[in-house]
Structure 1
Amino acid sequence: MATIINVSAATAHEARAAARTRRKAPLGRRLRRHGTGYLFMLGAVLCFALFSWYPMIREVIMSFQKTNFAGDTRWVGFENYRHIMADPDFWAAWRTSGLFTLFALLFGFVVPFLTAVVLNELRHARSYFRLLVYLPVMMPPVAAAFLWRWFYRADDSGMFNEVLTALHLPNVQWLQSSHSLAVLCLVLFSTWANMGGSVLIYLAALQGVPGELYEASELDGAGVLKRIWHVTVPQTRLILSLMLMLQVVNTMQVFLEPYVITGGSNGTTSVVYQIYDYAFNFNNYGNASALGILLLVVLMGFAAVYLKLARSVEED
């Protein structure tokens, strides 16, 4: 036993010495040794720098500038921020994005998880139903949005109102009757169009839940709902919390749904749609950049709070 311990200690000492030697190796030798890996990384770094980091830095700079039609810029400090906060549409856009996020958590977060649980329990035609659920993701988003805009038509030609007419029920002004109903209609489309990817992620997480836990809960007399609450949810807690954060971040940046389906009417203008309005309808890139920075700060604050809570839960 002592011999084995001595050999292990010697091996560990040699490994540490080799690591120190590699760290002290000249830069040229390290580049020759890892040159291929650095070249592969260089492409990714350049892509991020050109298409992600540079636009972010440029947006921060533009948020403190005023640009005219001739392309001339001048520094205005925090004037853009004061201007957008004084705009009544600013707070309305935040209310719409917040309401969209709330409905998305009730439907777009819960429905995909329950769908994954049902698909995971299927014994026949499982692959067919998975394809059926994922099919909307493969449709072009704009084409799918135009399709649902036809579904929501207020007259008898809209599919949903045709169903209501067939059931001898009055037609519904889906997108024009009230602000909350219009936002809910957008959330239903978003849930249908995007749930396929979430369902596949949840299915992958459910595959890792030990079957013995379900068997033990069945022996204890637990029903389906109790098994989901006491076994499935705790075992997939990490992926659920991650998907929750991604859901909030994505839904706060909603743009396609109000742009294509409602055109921002009936108070469905979101924060990102307001950014689009400032930049391309009013040619006010300073206000658009300032609002984009505010949205970034809000989402970063949410992510920081989430990471702090997640770390405290893991430590407990």
Structure 2
Amino acid sequence: MSLLTHSRQRTAPSNTPPSRGGGRRTGRRAGAARKQFTAWLFLVPTLLVFGLFAWWPIVRSLLLGFQRTNLVDPAVWVGLDNFRALLDDPLLGTAVGNTLLFVGLGILIGFPAPLVLAAVVTTVRRGAGIYRFLVYLPVVIPPVVAILLWKWFYDPGSGLFNNALGLIGLGPFSWLESPDTAMLSLVLEATWAGMGGAVLIYLAAMAGIPAELYEAAEVDGAGIRRRIRHVMLPQLRSVIGLLLLVQLIGTIQVFTEPYVFTGGGPENATLTVLLLIFRYAFQDGEYGQAAALSFLMVLALALLSAVYLRATRSWSRS
């Protein structure tokens, strides 16, 4: 056989079928690509709706902060003038101070109340469902209805609170008419109206605590206080930390109570940041200043959340 014939035989294509490994990999890649395309096909409408109704208003509000407009005529770019006008407004300091006062009173009164109430409800053996229903009932009442009900409670003449206190020789008190008690009155109603959800969360978390821990503490001679301090509270650290952050954000954004109860009075004693934003926009027509203050509030809340989560990361995991 010649050398040329031998070379042609060596380079002739083989009749053996190709390996199936490459085909399988190609098929898997094609299947994964189809699944990814289908997932994006279902996700894109949701992203468009979310962007239209969530992110675009945020972007639009930020743009309004640098404009002067009445939302009808063409907007005029004014740069940082809206922010300068905010800093020159003496009501801004009043609103910030009142908001911080509401936050402080809300944390002092409204934060431990759900935890204490949940601990009490867990000790109930008969009719526990009724107590859970009664605790959560204020949450399902419309906020405006609840505020109007409490407004009657606070009535200086025929109100429930003054009549009850009069039986023991106290009062009458001008709950909403006095700058000294108006903010406290708002905090009491807000605590009553909003603590039902926190109580249920605490009850669910307490149900997950192993009973062996309580039994071991009881065998060691721990009383109810030591069991709460050394067993229950350490097991609830992460829940407590999360609810504290949620309450901080919620109380900073308080609006309904001062708006319906007092309209910011008396003497601006209950004027909060959100109520001031409302006044800028819908009473004064200063939409640019309202948007600028809203943007500053968002930045403050984002910074507060970041600092809080970083400061409590190790505490909540320990």
TM-score scaled by structure 1? 0.86
Structure 2 vs 1, CA of residues 42 and 201 (structure 1 numbering), >3 Å: closer, same or farther?
Answer: farther
Amino acid at match of 2:179: S
- The answer to whether residue 275 in structure 2 is matched with residue 270 in structure 1 is no
Query: Deviations for 1:166-192, whole angstroms, at most 9, x for unmatched residues?
Result: 33333001112234x211111111111
Amino acid at match of 1:25: R
Distance 1:22 1:283 in 2: 62
Q: Which amino acid aligns with 1:105?
A: I
Are residue 123 (structure 1) and residue 121 (structure 2) matched?
no
Change (3 A) 1:22 1:170: farther
Structure 1's unaligned 5+ residue stretches are 1-16
What is the match of residue 29 of structure 2?
25
SS class of match (2:62): helix
Change (3 A) 1:32 1:147: same
- Which amino acid in the other structure matches residue 131 of structure 1? F
For residue 166 of structure 1, what is the aligned residue in structure 2?
167
Provide the C-alpha distance between the structure 1 equivalents of 2:294 and 2:204, rounded to a whole number of angstroms. Answer: 35
More deviation in 60-69 or 292-301? 60-69
Residue aligning to 1:96: 98
1:137 equivalenced with 2:136 (yes/no): no
In the alignment, residue 167 of structure 1 is paired with which amino acid?
Answer: I
Equivalent in the alignment of 1:8 = none
Find the residue that maps to 2:271 and give its secondary structure: coil
Worse-superposed segment, 161-170 or 142-151: 161-170
**Greater helix content:** 1
Cα displacement (A) at 1:38: 3.9
Give matches, 1:8-157, under 5 Å. 25=29, 29-30=31-32, 32-34=34-36, 37-68=39-70, 70-155=72-157, 157=158
1 CA distance for matches of 2:287 and 2:217? 58
- Give the superposition deviation at 1:72: 2.2
Structure 1 counterpart SS, 2:312 = helix
For the residues of structure 2 that align with 1:315 and 1:290, how far apart are their CA atoms? 37
The alpha-carbon deviation at position 36 of structure 1 amounts to 5.6
Contact persistence 2:238–2:316 (CA under 8 A): no
1:41 deviates by 3.3
Q: Contact (CA 8 Å) 2:66, 2:80: kept in 1 or not?
A: yes
Give the aligned residue type for 2:261.
Answer: I
- Letter of the 2:146 partner, please give it: A
Aligned-partner Cα distance in 2 for 1:86–1:22: 67
Unaligned runs of 5+ residues in structure 2 are 1-20
Shift of 1:106: 1.3
Aligned residue type for 1:186: L
Partner deviation per Cα, 1:63-112 (whole Å, 9 max, x = no partner): 01111475221111111111111111101101111111111111221101
Mapped partners of 1:224, 1:73: distance in 2? 64
- What is the SS of the residue equivalent to 2:76? strand
Deviates most, 65-74 or 201-210: 65-74
Q: CA deviation at 1:314?
A: 5.9
Could you report, residue by residue, the CA deviation over 1:221-260 in whole angstroms, capped at 9, with x for unpaired residues?
Answer: 2221221111111101001101111110010000000001
**Secondary structure of the structure 2 residue equivalent to 1:195:** helix
**Percent of aligned pairs with the same residue?**
43
Query: Distance in 1 between the 2:282 and 2:76 partners?
Result: 19
Quote the Cα distance in structure 2 between the aligned partners of 1:215 and 1:103.
Answer: 36
Amino acid at match of 2:184: L
Distance 1:209 1:299, change over 3 A: same
Report the CA distance shift for 1:96/1:229 in structure 2 as closer, same or farther (over 3 A): same
Normalising by structure 2, what TM-score? 0.86
Structure 1 window deviating more from structure 2 (113-122 vs 86-95): it is 113-122
Give how far 1:59 is off: 0.8
SS at match of 1:173: coil
Q: Aligned residues, how many?
A: 293
Task: Please state whether the residue corresponding to 1:25 is helix, strand or coil.
Answer: helix
CA separation of 1:91 and 1:23: change in aligned 2, threshold 3 A: farther
Cα offsets for 1:103-132 (capped at 9, x unmatched)? 111122110111111112211100000000
Output the aligned Cα RMSD.
Answer: 2.2
